[in-house]
Amino acid sequence: MAKPKDTYYLTAHCTGSLGTVDVVTRYLREQGCYVVEMQTFDDVVSKHFFIRVEFRPPREQAFDEGGFKSGFESRARNFAMQWQLTATSYRPNVVIMVSKFDHCLNDLLYRYRTGQLAIEIPAIISNHPDLQRLADWHHIPYYHLPVSADNRAEQEAQVLNVIDECEADLVVLARYMQVLSPEMCDTLNGKAINIHHSLLPGFKGAKPYHQAYHKGVKLVGATAHYINNDLDEGPIITQGVEVVDHSHYPEQLTAKGRDIECITLARAVQYHIEQRVFLHNGKTVVFTS
């Protein structure tokens, strides 16, 4: 079912206490706003409360976004509530970083081109020239920024410059096969999503699916997470998994793994841009669709 175009997301979190739901819903009612969707979570371990509301302003008058924010801030302040208001019509700028594997990039570009992902892609950044033609076909600027042990700091500065110039709301590492420096991870904290395979046991190094085949794995999967200084261990947004068996050779495991990576990454991007993800105490709260 298509959603109304004139809706907004109101997301908030604070210490759990009596009245946290009421302060949001009562204010929306007073403003004549209609709640389209609402999700809440009260974390009894951390004693923290999370809420996400999609609402429609009154149709009979223009929505005063500034006035709405000012009025809600005076209410939210009593709960030390951190909150954000986002129009569902807003299309965030997403910069994509990629190396040579093109499956995740292709999938994101398709979803962008067909409108499944309501985003703008102002730039694609790569440490290899291989995917230039794909970017050109989509009329997206392609920045080939080679990286080596000798120029890593300079190259990362160039990457961040592109990200800043594009006013990126989100950076997506669509199989960007480079380890980011701690400084860059800190700079992109909470605004960069990575994707990688998920295998048990966790096969490291080259050809993980070949290693998995020789161990007779029964599950293959993928994990999308926010980046941090722990390699491939940032706060998890989404995961995908499929059952396999002895009849899956390395090439088939690889193909299945790439399919799962595409779906898992796209879902993570979707959740992020729809304001469904909260970062708190090094983990995530995700209100799935």
**Alpha carbon distance 224, 173 (integer Å):** 10
**Alpha carbon distance 229, 176 (integer Å):** 16
Catalytic residues: 232
End-to-end CA distance of the chain: 12
Q: How far is CA 181 from the centre of its chain?
A: 20
DSSP 114-150: TTSS--B---EEESSSTTHHHHHHTT--EEE----TT
**What is the b/e burial string over 239-259, where b = at least 16 CB atoms within 10 angstroms of the residue's CB?**
ebeeebeeebeeeebbebbbb
**Alpha carbon distance 21, 51 (integer Å):** 8
**Alpha carbon distance 193, 29 (integer Å):** 35
Length of the chain: 289
3-state helix, strand, coil in the chain (%, to 5): 35, 30, 40
